[in-house]
Structure 1
Amino acid sequence: MTAASAMGNAIEWFDYGVYGYLAASIGNAFFPDNDATMKLLSTFGVLAVSFAVRPVGGMVFGPLGDKIGRQRVLVLTITLMSVSTAAIGLLPTYATIGAWAPVLLILCRLVQGFSTGGEYGGAATYMAECAPDRKRGFYGAFLEFGTLIGLIFGGLLATTMSLWVSQDTINAWAWRLPFLAALPLGAIGLYLRARLEDSPVFDELARHSETSKVPFRETMQHWRHILLLMGFVLLLNVADYGVLTYMPTYLNSVLKLSPLISGLLPVMVMIGMLAVIAPIGALTDRIGRKPALLTSCIGFIVLSVPMVMLMGTKNLVAIVVGLTVLGLLLVILLACIASTLPALFPTQVRYSAFAIGYNVSTSAFGGTTPLVVTALIAATHSNLMLGWYMTAAGLIALVPMLLIPETAGESLRGRRTPGRARATTPHARVSAATPH
């Protein structure tokens, strides 16, 4: 269950990691502009366009998962994700077919974005519904373990490649290899998911014929909690894409560090995050999700700009300290996602509500982060824009994090009516308040 759920997340973030690490080479291959900044803007613009269709994927796959089951949809999404990512490695370049090259790149990214729109909501929902109530934080953290594994693998693959072949060779053809690696990874994930049974929570509804008949309409009854989720995800995505996906480009293109250093430092921080994410998830099972979330949120508000200033000194130790602090704040958020957000919604619309709210927020603030920060730096000539952007996201997210209900220990089992956004049974109240 854990490996199958996390595998899709690993492939998704392997793709984003490779795309971020090889952004300059992708720009050279698909965009003819001689200005390096414009090539980066074009490359990150394609990434941002792919995020525009993620809410559409959420609106299609979320209700489908609430009607026919989580497992069937997860098999479909991992197949589409893997094929569309691998297809990028086969595309002809601008030098070969001209303007059709970026068009085909955009089409591949659109398919990837559409399938990803149903992937994370389904995986998080499935993980939450299968995990023991009192260990949901611990098991849920492994979903983001997949995120970090995917990014680390993508980053190491791109960085190692730069050690073995010249930059000219990477620009010419070697950039394709990491994308092609998505195909065997997807085959492994498909094998694991095809062997899964559906979650016991969904099966209970199906046995009693209480699955939602019109999940999209019923989902909209929970718009208040969807808005809270979107505010949470705003900070999550700005930090996620700022610290993990954009950082290699920031260190290399903005701070002018070597490609090797720019690639390895974020990977080292992510390896450290891997070591602590499960213990942090387990801690939230004992102390609750909200104390952890508020600690992270306030940390981003107070420390983002100072840490980016520290990295701006270009001192290696200072850069490591700045990245480590930002990585620690981020990993607290990551450890809480799968245990906190699915529990906000009843089973009948859990997949739909999570997928729609998550992907609308991700579309607006996730994939656009590298593009927006690159444009802000170009417009203001200030290297602190990444820090200020994360600070602003933290200030916005603080309100929903204060309002979000505590979900630690709450049971997701049982048949819950579509009109109720949160169970209030004595068991749920006791288990949420009792240390485990």
Structure 2
Amino acid sequence: MKKSKKTRNRPLNINDITIIDDSKLKKAITAAALGNAMEWFDFGVYGFLAYVLGQVFFPSVSPSVQMVAALATFSVPFLIRPLGGLVFGMLGDKFGRQKVLSITIVIMALSTFCIGLIPSYATIGIWAPILLLLAKLAQGFSVGGEYSGAAIFVAEYSPDRKRGFMGSWLDFGSIAGFLLGAGLVVLLSSLLGDEIFHNWGWRIPFFLALPLGFIGLYLRHALEETPAFQQHVDNLSKNQPENSTEQQPSVSLKEIFTKYWKSLSICVGLVIVTNVTYYMLLTYMPSYLSHNLHYSTDHGVLIIIAIMVGMLFVQPVIGLLSDKIGRKPFIVGGSICLFIFAYPAFLMITSDIIALIFIGLLILAVILNCFIGVMASILPAIFPTNVRYSALAISFNISVLIAGITPTAVAWLVEESGNLYMPAFYLMVVAIIGIVTGLKMKETANKPLRGATPAASDRSEAKEILSEHFDNIEQKVEDIEQQIDDLQKQRQNLIDQHPKLD
């Protein structure tokens, strides 16, 4: 049942603006960021343990094949992420964000924990790699709904004027989780020694996922549904007949792709430029430094870890600035910088001078911060509430699947061409996608989420928003009146040129 025109067009008043409880907002950010940190904790652990896992689960092949097999098992879950995004996205739009995020963190924690329980190939034979693959597929399925849901959760809980800063903590959690996982592996390996670490010590990081998951579940379960989604449900209830038992209507995939194709294309472009840069710097670069530039693995890892620590400090600053000057400048500016500086950065990285290598990586890291610092605040804002989870999860995970081939594709290009600057050219092509997408996207900073009423930190801010809202309407009315006046003059000018028109 549609609202009447009179209801739709009534003036906005102070009670229509949602006041966000500050304590609930902090809990929402903590709960969302912890799940994201756990996802990347597994990425860090698995990536740094690939050589050990290859020996444990694929012992009958050569060391190089062991590494490839372990990394292939790591990559397979990317294929199932879009399915997880589809399932959890639909559930999130129908039953709420809080319920779905509680489910995803449980699946993620249990599947990661189970990896630590799997016996070795020497104990159960072929079942060992099969069980490893099943655990990774379960992870991929849950991750398909995790980031999208967490970004939406934070965005729908945040005041309009602070959404950029609040959203930036989500990817702060990603970087922190990766660092924690990688650092824990290095620490345990040093403390336990190679023999004990290879025998059973490698299982410890996976076991830690269970208590982390319980903490995340507690935090998420204790939270209320997001204000934006609750408002959406309340509006649906008001507009249904009193005796209606109909549940919230679902939107078909066909309708999502036909009605919101522009928003979907913006989302795909943003995620591709962000994640290609992400995987290039944090996944491919360590092997590029060791395999192609012949630096020791430890040196390459330490440089990347140092870069990531620096990114932690820059991340919230980008989010805060985006609330002041907008998100578009960071997407467009970051993409332009990526196009201009990708090649010079790789000139420095290949210079064989440690200081220049660090500066080259730092340039790429700051550019990456420009993207991830605003991503969690942009993506939820480009879709309306009723399809936000479904549309974002589907488009995000398809894009990640495309971006996920970056390390493999770039490694193949370098090997085939013998050109060490192929990664730079690859980034320059992606930068063009970022520039076009950034120019096409609408600014979302300091505006309500699509389909939602404004949200403020307190009542005084709500009054300011209301005043700005009325000022904006007055300006639009003045603009329309000016257009009408110009059209009247054009009309009269045409009439004067015609002998039979008065």
- The equivalent residue for 1:420 is none
1:352 paired with 2:379, answer: no
Question: Which of 412, 419, 425 does residue 449 from structure 2 map onto?
Answer: 412
Q: Is the 8 A contact 1:71 1:198 kept in 2?
A: yes
Residue range with higher mean Cα deviation, 333-342 or 41-50? 41-50
Compared CA separation, residues 414 and 235, structure 1 to 2 (3 A): closer
Compared CA separation, residues 389 and 34, structure 1 to 2 (3 A): farther
Compared CA separation, residues 37 and 143, structure 1 to 2 (3 A): same
- The equivalent residue for 1:15 is 42
SS in 1 for 2:445: coil
- The equivalent residue for 2:345 is 307
Question: Which of 233, 236, 241 does residue 279 from structure 2 map onto?
Answer: 241
Q: Is the 8 A contact 1:310 1:318 kept in 2?
A: yes
- The equivalent residue for 1:361 is 399
- In 2, Cα distance between the equivalents of 1:41 and 1:157? 23
After superposition, the C-alpha distances for 1:271-295 in whole angstroms (9 at most, x for unaligned) are: 1111121111111111111111112
Question: Which of 164, 172, 182 does residue 209 from structure 2 map onto?
Answer: 182
After superposition, the C-alpha distances for 1:347-398 in whole angstroms (9 at most, x for unaligned) are: 11111111111011112212x3333333334444444343333233222332
- In 2, Cα distance between the equivalents of 1:24 and 1:114? 25
For 2:230, the aligned partner's letter is D
Q: CA deviation at 1:403?
A: 0.8
- The equivalent residue for 1:422 is none
For 2:289, the aligned partner's letter is L
Compared CA separation, residues 124 and 234, structure 1 to 2 (3 A): same
Unaligned stretches of 5+ in structure 2?
Answer: 1-27, 238-246, 454-467, 476-502
Q: Is the 8 A contact 1:212 1:348 kept in 2?
A: no
SS in 2 for 1:53: helix
- The equivalent residue for 1:161 is 188
Pairing 1:34-433 to 2, within 5 Å after superposition: 35-209=62-236, 213-217=249-253, 218-220=255-257, 221-366=259-404, 368-412=405-449, 427=469
- The sequence identity of aligned pairs, in percent, is 42
SS in 2 for 1:246: helix
Q: CA deviation at 1:28?
A: 2.7
For 1:215, the aligned partner's letter is V
- In 1, Cα distance between the equivalents of 2:211 and 2:416? 42
Unaligned stretches of 5+ in structure 1?
Answer: 417-425
Q: CA deviation at 1:268?
A: 1.4
Q: Is the 8 A contact 2:233 2:248 kept in 1?
A: no
Residue range with higher mean Cα deviation, 297-306 or 125-134? 297-306
For 1:361, the aligned partner's letter is S
Q: Is the 8 A contact 1:141 1:281 kept in 2?
A: yes
Q: Is the 8 A contact 1:88 1:105 kept in 2?
A: yes
Compared CA separation, residues 4 and 427, structure 1 to 2 (3 A): same
Q: Is the 8 A contact 1:58 1:118 kept in 2?
A: yes
Q: Is the 8 A contact 2:170 2:376 kept in 1?
A: yes
- In 2, Cα distance between the equivalents of 1:165 and 1:259? 20
Compared CA separation, residues 342 and 233, structure 1 to 2 (3 A): same
Compared CA separation, residues 31 and 328, structure 1 to 2 (3 A): same
For 2:304, the aligned partner's letter is P
Q: What TM-score, normalized to structure 1?
A: 0.89
After superposition, the C-alpha distances for 1:188-215 in whole angstroms (9 at most, x for unaligned) are: 1111111111110100111122685123
For 1:162, the aligned partner's letter is S
- In 2, Cα distance between the equivalents of 1:395 and 1:92? 47
Compared CA separation, residues 414 and 403, structure 1 to 2 (3 A): closer
- In 2, Cα distance between the equivalents of 1:212 and 1:31? 49
Q: Is the 8 A contact 2:42 2:112 kept in 1?
A: yes
Question: What is the alpha-carbon root mean square deviation over aligned residues?
Answer: 2.5
Compared CA separation, residues 265 and 331, structure 1 to 2 (3 A): same
Residue range with higher mean Cα deviation, 146-155 or 21-30? 21-30
For 1:299, the aligned partner's letter is C
For 1:347, the aligned partner's letter is T
Q: Is the 8 A contact 2:331 2:434 kept in 1?
A: no
- In 2, Cα distance between the equivalents of 1:397 and 1:46? 30
- In 2, Cα distance between the equivalents of 1:380 and 1:429? 59
Residue range with higher mean Cα deviation, 55-64 or 236-245? 236-245
Give the paired residue count.
Answer: 422
Compared CA separation, residues 355 and 429, structure 1 to 2 (3 A): farther
Q: Is the 8 A contact 1:281 1:336 kept in 2?
A: yes
Q: CA deviation at 1:305?
A: 3.3
- In 2, Cα distance between the equivalents of 1:96 and 1:251? 36
SS in 1 for 2:200: helix
Compared CA separation, residues 256 and 363, structure 1 to 2 (3 A): same
